[in-house]
């Protein structure tokens, strides 16, 4: 082997070793950057009416090598909230997302109706290895009772429950000012809900506990019979009211990993001054891109002392 | 030399293939590397590269024993075997690849030189070609392996294909060449030093 050939071979081997070293260094760095300091629930913002049939998802994030794998969630404060077993929602390399469906069941007839909204901030997590821990979930607001109220000074969700409820609505079908017509949602964060008026009324407002928090990341548009209408707007019997919404969440935003379930309450006031709230649900599921996951993990690390 | 090369070839073959019944490998890698080490040690003094090869074979033997007794799997709550990629597991794989590559290189250089000295330039050339392909294969594998940590599934699949299919082809080629080297009539003649 000539000297020149030896030098060329050596240079090639050194370059190859360098490339291999860079590959390991960068991948280990990325692996470390994507890891959570501890497993946890995602930061939820959920509004619920607590009516039978109403459901939402709870998300739990853990590192892929975490031996404490969640199998069940539980909350004693909500006896009519049924939680399905936890399952693996997505495997994103370093991180795993688990999910469980939570749904409200009918309450016992002798159960005392709740007159104040309940704010749940933690859930008990049961793990496969027998451990359990109470962990923060963000915020779950369960509105009190149904939506019929007799005065217009009451705050959303503090009204007394109605005699009967229907899934997707809060007032009984017999006395309801409006009834559900259609609804839909897209994976791009947009959706709509519409209802048909049973009586003439004034649509005064559409509110949610979280619209102010979301700011520009959430927009909605109200239209009556296909025509965009500013509020308040008078609606007649047979009119179709559509509430279209869209979440504008970038993958680097903190909201990208925040499960959101908004209960957009359309406030309808009839001719006698009685108010009914017609809910439309707007949901945003976490969109775990690599960037979103990295931001999420980074935020957790910076929050951990 | 003929018997030693045969022992070395059988050792490499045993280490290459797994034959599992009820989860137990009836052809344990450790046994393969032990045979390879015994075979190699009988003619390792013929060339510095072969002497160095002994250490790599011994390293692979230790790694195989550790793998045989140590549990590398983490079971999930559902009982399914979890094919989790962790830095520790990748380091183990990388060490195995590096040692295996080093052993192949030592055998190619040492036996190739012995073959050339004994007059078989063709066999020497074949060892050289195998050396180049082994270096490419091992280098690429070592480069791709860590991508498995971060869920680059295509690259991980590529790594598995390269590590599996091409690795088998190269090892079988090495076994064939080792057997041929053992059959050379003049290979026992004197010590040869790397020039």
- Report for A58-72, A115-129, A243-257, B166-180: range of highest mean pLDDT: B166-180
pLDDT greater than 90 at residue B108: yes
- Comparing A145 with A75, the larger pLDDT belongs to A75
Q: Are A95 and A61 in contact (CB under 8 A)?
A: yes
- The pLDDT of residue A110 is 66
A51 versus B143: the higher-pLDDT residue is B143
Angle of helix B167-183 relative to helix B87-117, nearest 10 degrees, comes to 30
Q: Which pLDDT belongs to residue A111?
A: 65
Q: How far apart are CA A276 and CA A97, in angstroms?
A: 38
3-state DSSP call for residue B79?
coil
In eight-state DSSP terms, residue B44 is G
Domain boundaries defined on chain A: 1-33, 40-303
Three-class secondary structure of residue B32 per DSSP: helix
Which of B84, B144, B150 lies nearest to residue A65, judging by beta carbons? B84
Q: What is the mean pLDDT of residues A85-105?
A: 88
pLDDT in the model for residue A169: 41
Residue B195 lies in a domain: no
Query: What contacts A13, CB < 8 A, 6 or more positions away?
Result: B135
Q: How confident is the model at residue A95 (pLDDT cuts 50, 70, 90)?
A: confident
Whether residue A101 has pLDDT greater than 90: yes
| pLDDT band (50, 70, 90) for residue A135 | very high
Q: In the predicted model, what is the mean pLDDT of residues A231-257?
A: 89
pLDDT of residue B193: 45
The pLDDT value given to residue B18: 76
What are the structure tokens assigned to A160, written together? 């007394």
Task: Check residue B79 and give its pLDDT.
Answer: 37
User: Does residue A9 belong to the interface with chain B, where contact is any CB pair within 8 Å?
Assistant: no
Tell me which residue range forms the domain holding B48.
Answer: 2-189
Report how far residue B23's alpha carbon sits from residue B71's, in angstroms, rounded to the nearest whole number: 13
pLDDT above 80: residue A36: yes
Q: What's the domain count of chain B?
A: 1
Residue B29: exposed, middle, or buried by beta-carbon count in 10 A (0-12, 13-18, 19+)? buried
Q: Are A94 and A136 in contact (CB under 8 A)?
A: no
Contact B86 A67 (CB under 8 A): no
Cα torsion B63, B67, B71, B72: sign: positive
> Phi and psi (nearest 5°) for A15?
-60, -45
The H-assigned helical ranges of B17-86 are 29-41, 48-69
What tens digit of pLDDT does each residue of A160-202 get?
333 333 333 444 444 788 888 899 988 888 999 999 999 999 9
Q: What is the pLDDT of residue B12?
A: 94
Verify whether the Cβ–Cβ distance A28 to B142 is below 8 Å.
Answer: no
- ipTM above 0.90 for this complex: no
Contacts with B86 from chain A: Cβ below 8 Å: 65
pLDDT tens-place string over residues B11-42 = 999 998 877 776 666 678 889 999 999 999 99
pLDDT digits (tens, 9 = 90+) for A260-272: 999 898 999 988 8
B108/B194 Cα distance (integer angstroms): 12
- Nearest CA distance, B97 vs chain A (angstrom): 13
Is B56's pLDDT higher than 90?
A: yes
- Residue B83's pLDDT is what? 62
Tokens 């909350």 found at: A75
Tokens in use for A118? 């309940």
Mean pLDDT of B54-67: 92
pLDDT band for position B192 (cuts 50, 70, 90): very low
What would the DSSP string read from start to end of B84-145?
A: ---HHHHHHHHHHHHHHHHHHHHHHHHHHHHHHHTT-HHHHHHHHHHHHHHHHHHHHHHHHG
- Cross-chain residue pair B139–A31, CB shorter than 8 Å: no
Instruction: Please report, rounded to a whole number, the percentage of residues in chain A having pLDDT higher than 90.
Output: 36
Tokens encoding B195: 């020039």
CA distance B26 to chain A (A): 30
Instruction: Assess whether pLDDT exceeds 70 at residue B186.
Output: no
Report which secondary-structure segment, H or E, holds B81.
strand B81-82
Q: Do B150 and A94 touch (CB under 8 A)?
A: yes
3-state secondary structure of B47: coil
Cα torsion A254, A257, A259, A260 to 10°: value is 30
A interface mutation test: which of B78, B134, B151, B152 has the most A CBs within 10 A? B151
Write down the mean pLDDT value for chain A. 82
Residues 122-151 of A with CB under 8 A from B: 128-129
Residue B77 has pLDDT above 70, yes or no: no
CA distance A70 to A66: 10
Could you tell me how many residues make up chain A?
A: 305
Q: Are A170 and A162 in contact (CB under 8 A)?
A: yes
Q: Which two tokens stand for residue B25?
A: 């490998």
pLDDT in tens, A272-286: 888 888 888 898 888
B153 pLDDT exceeds 70? no
Task: Compute the residue count for chain B.
Answer: 195
Share of chain B above pLDDT 90, in %: 49
Is the N-terminal amide bond of A232 cis, ω within 30° of 0? yes
A-chain CB neighbours of B84 within 8 Å are 64-65
DSSP string, chain A: --HHHHHHHHHHHHHHHHHHHHHHHHHHHHHHHT--SS-EE--EEEEE---TT-EEEEEEEEETT-S--EEEEE-TT-TTEEEPPPEEEEEETTEEEEEEEEEE-PPPTTSPPP-S-EEEEEEEEEETTS-EEEEEEEEEEE--S-S-BSSS-SPTT-SPPPS---TT-SS-TTT-SEEEEEEEE-TTSEEEEEEEESS-EEEEEEE-TTHHHHGGGEEEEEEETTEE-PSSEEE-TT-EEEEEEEE---TTSGGGG--EEEEEEEEEE-TTS-EEEEEEEEEE-----HHHHHHHHHHHHHH--
Residues of B with CB under 8 A from a CB of A: 74, 76-77, 84, 86-87, 94, 135, 139, 142-144, 146-147, 149-152
Q: Tell me, what's the pLDDT at A171?
A: 45
Residue A303 has pLDDT above 60, yes or no: yes
Residue B29 included in any domain: yes
Dig out the tokens for A81 from the structure.
């909230």
State the pLDDT confidence band at A11, using cuts at 50, 70 and 90.
very high
- B194 part of a folded domain: no
The string over B133-152, giving b where at least 16 C-beta atoms fall within 10 Å of a residue's C-beta and e elsewhere, is bbbebbbbbbbbbbbbbbbb
pLDDT score, position A252: 77
Can you read off the two tokens belonging to residue A50? 């607590």
Cα gap A111→A256, rounded to integer Å = 38
The distance of B38 to chain A (nearest Cα, Å) reads 30
B163-172 contact pairs (CB < 8 A, 24+): B163/B97, B166/B137, B167/B137, B167/B141, B168/B16, B170/B104, B170/B130, B170/B133, B170/B134, B170/B137, B171/B12, B171/B16, B171/B104, B172/B16
Distance between CA atoms of A196 and A181, rounded to whole angstroms? Answer: 6
């Amino acid at each position: 082997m000539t000297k020149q050939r030896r030098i060329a071979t050596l240079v090639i081997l050194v370059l190859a070793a360098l490339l291999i070293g860079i590959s390991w260094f960068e991948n280990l760095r990325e692996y470390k950057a994507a890891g959570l300091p501890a497993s946890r629930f995602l930061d939820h913002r959920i509004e619920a009416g607590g009516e039978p049939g109403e459901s939402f998802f709870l998300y739990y994030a853990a590192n892929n090598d975490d031996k404490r794998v969640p199998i069940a969630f539980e909350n004693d404060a909500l006896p009519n909230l049924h939680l399905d077993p936890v399952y693996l929602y997505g495997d994103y390399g370093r991180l795993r997302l688990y999910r469980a469906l939570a749904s409200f069941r009918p309450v016992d007839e002798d159960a005392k109706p709740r007159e104040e909204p309940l704010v749940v901030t933690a859930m008990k997590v049961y793990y496969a290895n027998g451990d359990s821990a109470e962990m923060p979930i963000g915020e779950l607001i369960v509105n009190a009772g149904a939506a019929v109220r007799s005065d217009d000074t009451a705050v959303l969700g503090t009204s007394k429950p109605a005699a009967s409820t229907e899934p997707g609505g809060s007032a009984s079908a017999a006395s309801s000012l409006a009834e559900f017509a259609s609804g839909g949602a897209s994976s791009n964060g947009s959706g709509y809900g519409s209802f048909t008026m049973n009586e003439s009324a004034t649509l005064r407002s559409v509110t949610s506990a979280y619209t102010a928090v979301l700011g520009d990341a959430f927009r909605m548009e109200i239209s009556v019979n296909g025509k965009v209408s500013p509020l308040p707007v008078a609606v007649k019997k047979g009119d179709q009211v559509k509430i279209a919404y869209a979440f504008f969440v970038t993958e680097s935003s903190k909201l990208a990993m925040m499960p959101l379930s908004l209960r957009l309450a359309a406030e309808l006031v009839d001719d006698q001054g009685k108010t009914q709230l017609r809910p439309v649900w707007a949901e945003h599921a976490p969109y775990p891109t690599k960037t979103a996951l990295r931001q999420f993990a980074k935020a957790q690390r910076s929050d951990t002392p | 030399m003929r018997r030693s090369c045969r022992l070395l070839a059988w050792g490499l073959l045993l280490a290459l293939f797994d034959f599992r019944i009820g989860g137990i490998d009836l052809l344990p890698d450790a046994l393969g590397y032990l045979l390879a080490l015994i075979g190699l040690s009988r003619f390792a003094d013929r060339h510095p590269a072969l002497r160095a090869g002994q250490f790599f074979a011994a390293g692979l033997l230790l790694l195989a024993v550790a793998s045989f007794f140590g549990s590398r799997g983490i079971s999930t709550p559902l009982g399914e075997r979890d094919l989790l990629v962790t830095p520790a597991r990748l380091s183990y794989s990388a060490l195995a690849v590096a040692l295996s590559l080093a052993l192949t290189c030592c055998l190619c250089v040492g036996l190739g030189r012995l073959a050339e000295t004994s007059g078989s330039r063709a066999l020497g050339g074949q060892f050289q070609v195998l050396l180049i392909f082994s270096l490419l294969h091992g280098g690429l594998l070592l480069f791709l392996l860590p991508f498995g940590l971060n869920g680059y599934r295509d690259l991980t699949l590529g790594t598995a294909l390269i590590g599996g299919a091409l690795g088998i082809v190269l090892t079988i080629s090495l076994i064939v060449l080792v057997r041929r080297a053992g059959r050379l009539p003049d290979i026992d003649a004197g010590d040869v030093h790397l020039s």
